[in-house]
Structure 1
């Protein structure tokens, strides 16, 4: 199997996800399955290191942990990727919002504030 992303150590940041190939803007980088947590499980995780790996899910009290590389992407105020939650299929989809070169770190905005301008993230083909 040929992979298109890898995890590498990065000095003080710990680890990060890097491109092994060029990604064009709009291209899917990864579809990561998730583990959905109950409010009780979320509350417990918030007392552990897992707090830093939780994603919001359906409501403020729900959370999920992304598998694959999903919980390893680092934060950037100027990210080159964005994630969307596909609730029905329990998937986190990571997509390039800029062209990404092989060897470049793939980053997301943890605040989820990205507003796609001319990319329609909610079209049926993007929900798969």
Structure 2
């Protein structure tokens, strides 16, 4: 499920991003996406490809997942307007707004999983 008001367009921050054509209230589920779960060995292979920057940590065993839908296109912000939640049993990621979002605004998630977690992410830590 992807809200029909979402669209992908060029981003001033990194490549492409996800935007909204209508205002979205705080607490709105804007996307529920299935994931493809990768084992630790599969993750290691993917990390040698351009998909490395698009996978999500998935389990304590070193696995990861590739999210379908728009999930991998949301750009990172330490003070994001959305957050994501992982449903391990159903193999889904849900994106929800954490504050009201204006028409035309880019939607961001914090890659640290918490909306205001300022721990440096991998591409800024190096």
SS in 1 for 2:48: coil
Q: Which sits farther off after the overlay, 71-80 or 19-28?
A: 19-28
Are 1:40 and 2:41 matched, yes or no?
yes
Kindly report structure 1 stretches of 4+ aligned residues shifted beyond 4 Å. none
Residue in structure 1 matched with residue 100 of structure 2 by the alignment? 99
Listed as ranges, the matches of 1:1-128 within 5 Å are 3-11=4-12, 13-114=14-115
State the aligned residue count.
Answer: 114
SS in 1 for 2:32: strand
Q: Distance in 1 between matches of 2:94 and 2:28?
A: 11
How far has the Cα of 1:39 moved from its partner? 1.0
Structure 1 unaligned spans of 5+: 116-128
How far has the Cα of 1:12 moved from its partner? 5.7
Against the structure 1 CA distance between its residues 99 and 114, is the aligned structure 2 distance closer, same or farther, given a 3 Å change threshold?
same
Return the TM-score normalized by structure 1: 0.83
8 A contact 2:82–2:115 mirrored in 1: no
The two structures, once aligned, show a CA RMSD in angstroms of 1.5
How far has the Cα of 1:112 moved from its partner? 1.4
Q: Which string of whole-angstrom CA distances, capped at 9 and with x for unpartnered residues, describes residues 44-83 of structure 1?
A: 0111111100101122501001100000000011100000
Residue in structure 2 matched with residue 126 of structure 1 by the alignment? none
Against the structure 1 CA distance between its residues 59 and 6, is the aligned structure 2 distance closer, same or farther, given a 3 Å change threshold?
same
Q: Which sits farther off after the overlay, 104-113 or 56-65?
A: 56-65
